[in-house]
Amino acid sequence: MRASALFIPTLRADPAEAEAVSHRLLLRGGFIRPVSAGLYTYLPLGWRVHQKAVQIVREEMDAIGGQEMLCPVLTPAELWQQTGRYEIPEVFKLKDRGGRAFVLPMTHEETVTFHAREIQSYRELPQILYHFQTKDRDEPRPRGGLLRVREFIMKDSYSFDRDGEGLERSFRLHAKAYERIFERCGLEFFAVQAESGMMGGSASIDYLAPAGAGENTLVTCERGDYAADLEIARGIPRAPAFPERLAAPQEVATPGISTIEALAGLLGIDPAATSKAMPVVTDAGTLVLGLVRGDDRLEEAKLAAALGSGHRPATEEEIRAAFGADPGSLGPVGFEGEIVADEALREGQFVAGANRTGWHLRGVEAGRDFEARFADIREPKEGDTCPRCGGALSFQIAIEVGHIFKLETRYSVPLGATYLDEHGAERPIQMGSYGIGPGRIMAAAVEQRHDEHGIAWPRALAPYDVHVVAIESAGAEAAALAERIERELERAGFSVLLDDRDRRPGEKFADADLIGCPLRVTVGKKAVQEGAVDLLARAARSEEACRADDVVTRIRTLWETLP
RNA sequence: CGGGGUGUAGCGCAGCCUGGUAGCGCGCACGGUUCGGGACCGUGAGGUCCCGGGUUCAAAUCCCGGCACCCCGACCA
C-alpha cells in the first residue's frame, strides 16, 4: 500500500491525556483515536493489527473444534433478569420506543445459553461456540487507552458438556489454545490461578502479560515454579522476632496509640509480633473480626473467599456496640463473634488490642486465649518467600489479556438449558466461558515491545510486514525501484507499506520507527548508484546493506529470525 | 463515589495572579531554496478562549453553577 494514499495521522508530540506507553504510542502512531472516555476508534492501521490478533484467535479456536457464530449486541433484558445480572451497575440499559427493556451486554452468557436450550440430548454434546462481538460496560473509570474501555470487541467462547469431566476437557482444550494464541502473538505471559472463591470453587485461569502499565499485580517466584495474581497469591512472611513468652496475656496501657508503627515503637517490639483487627460486616449482616499480623495488609478478595460472602468494613457505631472500644484498640480476646485469623498468627505470641480504649494485651496466643478459624487472608508482600519452594517472590504489573472460567450450571439452571442423559433423566448442561480481548493483546504487545522511537511489533501483529522507505531526493529511478521491491515482496507473500510521500527522510524514518513494522527497506541514492538498499530490523535496530535484486531472498531469511 | 489536575487554532502550550484589540512553537496552504534521521526563507488561512449565569464602562482573566477529559483511590461479570 502507498502511504501517500492512506489515513495514518501520526503525531509528533505526545498527546497530553496519554500516560501509559501503549496509549501514547498507539495514539501517536495513528492506530487509534478517542471518541469519548473509554471509547476508541480503530483507525486503518490499528484495525489491521486488531484483525491480525483476531485471526490468530480464530485459527486456534477452530483448531479445538470451536464453531464461529455471531450473537446480536442488543439483548432483551428478560434474559438478564433471569440470571440476576440485570442489577449489575456496569450493565448498560436502554429501552426501545415501545418501552421494552434491553441491555448492551458485558458478555454473552445469557444469549448463548438461550440458544443452548435447543440442545435436547446427551448425543448433541459437547459443543464449543464462539464469536467476536462488541461488549459494552459502563465502567466507573476507563483508563490507559485500550487497557480499560467502555466498549470493545471480545472473543468469547462457551463450552457445553454433559458433566464435570467433559467440562474439564473443554476447559483444558481452551487453556492449551490460549497458550498457543499468546505465544503466536509474541507475548510474554503467565497463566495463573485466578480468584474463584465466591463462585463455589470453580476453576478459573487468568492470562497475565507483564507490562509497564496494567491493572493486575503478578506475583512470581524467582525459580519460576510459582505465578499468581496478587489477589490470590500466597506468600510466606518472614518470621517475627518474638519477645519473651508470657504465661497469660498482660494488659499494657497504650494511650492515644492507633497505628502499628506507634504501637511497636512504644513497646519496643517487632511490628511483625503485633496483630491488627479488621471488623467487617458480611452480606448476611453478621459482624466478623478479620485478624492479620500487624505488618500485613488484609486481602479483601481472600477474606471474601474465606467467608463465602461479600463484606464491608464495620462502621464506628457497630464497632463500639460489639467491642465497647475504639477501632484502634480491638482484639480477639473476649470477642464473642466469629474470628477469621490469618495463618501467620497460628504460632507465637502477639500484641493485640484489649477491647478497651487505650489498652493492648501482650502475649496473646491463638488457641489458648481465643478461638479462630485460620485462613490465608493476608496480602503478600515483596520479600515474602514462595509457598512451594521457598524462593524469593517478586511483583510486577501486568495486563489481563485472557480469562477462562468454569461456569458449571450458573447459567444453564436459571435459563433452563438442560439435556436428557442416556437414562432419560433431565440434567443441566455444564458450561464454561472463555474470553480474550484482542485490543488488550495489542496494548500488551506495545507495552512489552517498544523503545524510545516507537513500537516494535512482533511479526504476528504488525500492521505491515515490511515498510519500504523511498528517499525522495534519490529521484525517479529510486522511486521506481522502491515500487518494484514493493511488488516483489507482495508477490512473495509479504504485506508492504510503501512510504512514497513527498517528505524529508528524517520524517519518514521517524514515522517508520513509530509505526513499528518488523522490517524496513530504505531505497536511496545507493540504490541508484550501486544497486544496494538498506535493510533494518526494527526491534534489534540492526541494519545491513543488501543488493536490490536479493531483497526478497534476504527478507525471507531474516523474517524467520524475528520475534 | 472520594481526592487532585486540566479545558485557549488540528497538536503541544503561554496569557489568568494584577480585567483593557488573543499569542508562541509545531502542523496546514501557496511560492522558492533544500533532501539518508522530524531543514530554511517568504506569504497566508485557521479561534464559541468548554457551557450557562453574575460583577464591571469592559471578562480568556474575577465570582457562582454546570459539563467534559486526564491522573490517584474505591469498584471491576
Task: Give the pLDDT score at A30.
Answer: 95
Nearest to A166 by CA among A419, A436, A401: A419
Q: What is the pLDDT of residues A87-109, one digit of tens each?
A: 888 999 999 999 999 999 999 99
Instruction: Report, as an integer, the average pLDDT of A540-555.
Output: 96
In whole angstroms, give the CA distance from residue A359 to residue A74: 60
Q: What is the pLDDT of residues A356-390, one digit of tens each?
A: 988 999 999 999 999 999 999 999 988 899 988 88
In whole angstroms, give the CA distance from residue A457 to residue A538: 8
Task: Give the pLDDT score at A495.
Answer: 98
Instruction: Report, as an integer, the average pLDDT of A107-114.
Output: 96
pLDDT cut 90: percent of chain A above it? 76
Strand B proximal to A35 Cβ, under 7 A: no
Task: Give the pLDDT score at A306.
Answer: 85
Give the position of cell 520524517. A507
Å between CA of A29 and C1' of B13: 21
Q: What is the pLDDT of residues A418-468, one digit of tens each?
A: 999 999 999 999 999 999 999 999 999 999 999 999 999 999 999 999 999
Q: Do the beta carbons of residue A171 and residue A404 sit within 8 Å?
A: yes
Strand B proximal to A469 Cβ, under 7 A: no
Task: Give the pLDDT score at A197.
Answer: 42
Give the position of cell 498457543. A180
Å between CA of A388 and C1' of B71: 38
Å between CA of A148 and C1' of B51: 29
Note the maximum CA span of chain A: 95
Nucleotides of B under 7 A from a protein CB: 1, 6, 11-13, 25-27, 34-39, 68-77
Strand B proximal to A545 Cβ, under 7 A: no
Question: C1' nearest to CA of A433: which nucleotide?
Answer: B77
In whole angstroms, give the CA distance from residue A51 to residue A427: 39
Q: Do the beta carbons of residue A373 and residue A338 sit within 8 Å?
A: yes
Å between CA of A147 and C1' of B61: 38
Task: Give the pLDDT score at A196.
Answer: 55
Task: Give the pLDDT score at A558.
Answer: 97
Instruction: Report, as an integer, the average pLDDT of A287-316.
Output: 85
In whole angstroms, give the CA distance from residue A275 to residue A267: 13
In whole angstroms, give the CA distance from residue A512 to residue A534: 14
Task: Give the pLDDT score at A518.
Answer: 98
Question: C1' nearest to CA of A478: which nucleotide?
Answer: B36
Strand B proximal to A312 Cβ, under 7 A: no
pLDDT band of A261, cuts 50, 70, 90: confident
**Is the C-alpha dihedral spanning A536, A540, A544, A549 positive or negative?**
negative
Strand B proximal to A107 Cβ, under 7 A: yes
Q: What is the pLDDT of residues A62-79, one digit of tens each?
A: 999 999 999 999 999 999
Nearest protein residue to the C1' atom of B37, measured from CA: A506
User: In sequence order, what are the residues at sequence separation of 6 or more whose Cβ sits closer than 8 angstroms to the Cβ of residue A8?
Assistant: A30, A43, A44, A45, A511, A515
Strand B proximal to A15 Cβ, under 7 A: yes
Å between CA of A137 and C1' of B65: 30
Strand B proximal to A454 Cβ, under 7 A: no
Task: Give the pLDDT score at A201.
Answer: 47
Task: Give the pLDDT score at A480.
Answer: 95
CA atoms within 13 A on the CB side of A257: 23
Strand B proximal to A303 Cβ, under 7 A: no
In whole angstroms, give the CA distance from residue A401 to residue A409: 25
Question: C1' nearest to CA of A88: which nucleotide?
Answer: B77
Q: What is the pLDDT of residues A176-218, one digit of tens each?
A: 999 999 999 999 999 998 765 444 447 889 999 999 889 999 9
A468: left (phi over 0), alpha (psi -120 to 50) or beta: beta
Nearest protein residue to the C1' atom of B74, measured from CA: A140
Average pLDDT of chain A, as a whole number: 92
Question: C1' nearest to CA of A471: which nucleotide?
Answer: B36
Most confident segment among A110-114, A305-309, A319-323: A110-114
ipTM: 0.94
Strand B proximal to A17 Cβ, under 7 A: yes
